[in-house]
């Protein structure tokens, strides 16, 4: 069985700009590549799980999303890490147009994307962790039974219901992973 570092995209990989869909608007969140390198060394798969209500709202298409993610995957590879998988939810229960207007378990806080990843990549979710910036990320992580959910501060000012570890930076997650894998090596 494998384990994963699940990453929300907007607000974790790139700064939130609101319905991002163009490479020129991407600003990397400090520490994202370092975190991913440490995670890969510690044996984690890198899995992006992102709500894309902008597709539901008709602001950009699935094809535009895929193009941006292909570019993003390339940027990761250039920096020495590869994303193992990208899952997205294009639905919105209220503001979606046409077929996109619906409830769906893939839309966080639903755990659908995490459960699909677990099947596709043979993940042990109880050994997997996630980094997000919204309460919907906490909800999805908790519903999927992940080991630890890290909530990056700044987006949710009130805090969230559920189980999570609040962090101020991605560097704190990196330190946690490094310390955890050092402990594992000692135990072995
Ligand atoms: Mg986010």
| Matching CATH number, 7-43+56-187, of 3.20.20.450, 3.40.50.300, 1.20.1270.10, 3.40.50.1000 | 3.40.50.1000
- Terminal Cα distance for the chain, rounded: 17
**How does pLDDT run along the chain (188 residues), one tens digit per residue?**
999 999 999 999 999 999 999 999 999 999 999 999 999 999 999 999 999 999 999 999 999 999 999 999 999 999 999 999 999 999 999 999 999 999 999 999 999 999 999 999 999 999 999 999 999 999 999 999 999 999 999 999 999 999 999 999 999 999 999 999 999 888 87
Write down the domain spans for the chain: 7-43+56-187
Residue 8 a catalytic site member: yes
> Residue 47 C-alpha to ligand 1 middle, in angstroms?
14
What the block records as the tokens of 85 is 């998988």
Q: Is 89 exposed, middle or buried (0-12, 13-18, 19+ CB in 10 A)?
A: buried
Cα 135 to middle of ligand 1, angstroms: 9
């Amino acid at each position: 069985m494998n384990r994963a570092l699940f990453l929300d995209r907007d607000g974790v990989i790139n700064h939130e700009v609101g319905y991002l869909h163009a490479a020129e608007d991407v600003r990397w969140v400090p520490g994202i590549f370092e975190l991913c390198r440490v995670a890969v060394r510690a044996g984690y798969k890198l899995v992006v799980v992102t709500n894309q209500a902008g597709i539901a709202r008709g602001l950009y298409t699935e094809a535009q999303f895929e193009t941006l993610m292909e570019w993003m995957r390339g940027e990761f590879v250039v920096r020495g890490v590869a994303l193992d998988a990208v899952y997205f939810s294009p639905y919105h229960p209220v503001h979606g147009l046409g077929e996109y207007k619906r409830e769906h378990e893939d839309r966080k806080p639903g755990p659908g994307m995490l459960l699909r990843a677990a099947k596709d990549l043979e993940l042990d979710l109880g050994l997997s962790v996630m980094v997000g910036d919204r309460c919907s990320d906490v909800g999805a992580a908790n519903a999927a039974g992940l080991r630890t959910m890290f909530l990056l501060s700044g987006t949710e000012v009130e805090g969230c219901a559920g189980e999570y570890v609040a962090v101020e930076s991605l560097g704190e997650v990196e330190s946690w992973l490094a310390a955890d894998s050092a402990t594992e090596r000692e135990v072995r």
